[in-house]
Structure 1
Amino acid sequence: MQYYYRRNTVPVRIAQPRNLSSLNGKDEVALEQDAERKIGWLLKLLFAGTATVIGYQFFPYMGDNLIQQSVSLLHVKDPLFKRMGASRLARFAMDDERRMKVVEMGGAQELLNMLEGAKDDRTRKEALKALSALSRSGQAAEALHNAGAIAIISSTPDSSEDVEVEKYKASLLQRFQDLKYDVLP
């Protein structure tokens, strides 16, 4: 059916949509469900492909680069970034090889500098936690001792709020004592 109306005395034809479909309502629902299912699979494949590409982009940053980035975070002035770097280093220090890699990259010295300059208990706790993880290796503990770790750890202020600071501090000093290094009283 066509409708006309006058606009500025020129007849204009308005098109009306026609229902040319001979399908009934059940067929339409089935077609819609099929289309939704296909679009859903397409979106899932698109997501999986994107996640794979992103994974391959970040994979090279694992290992040495990630340890180096964590050590670099210890150079930042913001205590939050220092805590994040120390926390990452504590997680990386799983075996002697990785512990020594952290020491070789300067992470042990930076953790000691972080501990020495820490103004809050959370920062001290993360530094002590990372140092404790590093000291599980005999070579790393020796490198810490040579860097003056005993004096820095001994001079760390006691915490009245965080018990873990005292626990890590005592654990580190005990580790150095077990390794026959001179521990200051």
Structure 2
Amino acid sequence: MRTLASQLSSEAERKIGWLLKLFFAGTAAAVGYQFFPYMGDNLMQQSVSLLRVKDPLFKRMGASRLARFATDDERRMKIVEIGGAQELLNMLEAARDDRTRKEALKALAAISRSDKAVGALHNAGALSVIKSTPESLENAEVENYRSSLLKRFQDLRYDSSS
């Protein structure tokens, strides 16, 4: 009898332990679900802030981060709303080397996957900035991003030369 009661007791303790672990995991998931979206916005803001720094390395890091954040239309528009698109255009305009141009164009290409974002880029004067970007003889990626952006503007009929 004693062993049966002992087994039932340890079985109950084990089930209660699992129940507590499940409750803890559920609570942690709920807190994380509420917390992480704000963390993403904060990282986007920091990335835009990096674009304002004079050092090209930090600018490239910020542009690279923004390109990774631009995964859906909502995030692309968030980048535009917090000034990321304008800062990327400023970065592209002031870029002295192909690596910096490439990162700016890559981020702009990621943002331009949203039709609304392309409209906002057009209103910010992106077409003239992209067209005035010097051609790169050394880096084919710069030319690929540049031509894909120009084609995107042309496809959406923002290019007046078409």
User: Aligning the two structures, in what range does the TM-score lie when normalised by the shorter sequence?
Assistant: 0.7 to 0.9
Matches within 5 A, 1:99-118: 99-118=76-95
Paired residues of 1:150 and 1:184 also in contact (CA < 8 A):
no
Q: Which one of 85, 88, 105 corresponds to residue 62 of structure 2?
A: 85
**Structure (1 or 2) with the greater strand fraction:** 1
For the residues of structure 2 that align with 1:176 and 1:106, how far apart are their CA atoms? 20
How far apart in 2 are the matches of 1:76 and 1:109?
A: 14
Give the secondary structure class of the aligned counterpart of 1:87. helix
Residue of structure 2 in register with 1:162 after alignment: 139
Structure number having the greater helix percentage:
2
Among 149, 166, 177, the alignment partner of 2:126 is 149
Which stretches in structure 1 are left out of the alignment for 5+ residues? Answer: 1-55
| Aligned: 1:132 with 2:122 | no
Residue identity in the other structure for 1:72: S
- One-letter amino acid of the structure 1 residue matched with residue 80 of structure 2: V
What letter matches 2:68 in structure 1? R
Q: Deviations over 1:26-68 (max 9, x none)?
A: xxxxxxxxxxxxxxxxxxxxxxxxxxxxxx8x95862110000
**Paired position in structure 2 for 1:68:** 45
CA distance in 2, matches of 1:166, 1:184: 19
Q: Percent identity?
A: 77
Residues 79 and 90 of structure 1: is their aligned pair in 2 closer, same or farther, counting only changes over 3 Å? same
**2:53 & 2:38 partners in 1: Cα distance?**
20
Which blocks of at least 5 consecutive residues in structure 2 are unaligned? 1-31
Q: Size of the alignment, in residue pairs?
A: 129
Larger of the two Rg values belongs to structure: 1
Change (3 A) 1:168 1:125: same
Shift in Å, 1:182? 2.0
* 1:23-42 equivalent positions in 2, closer than 5 A: none
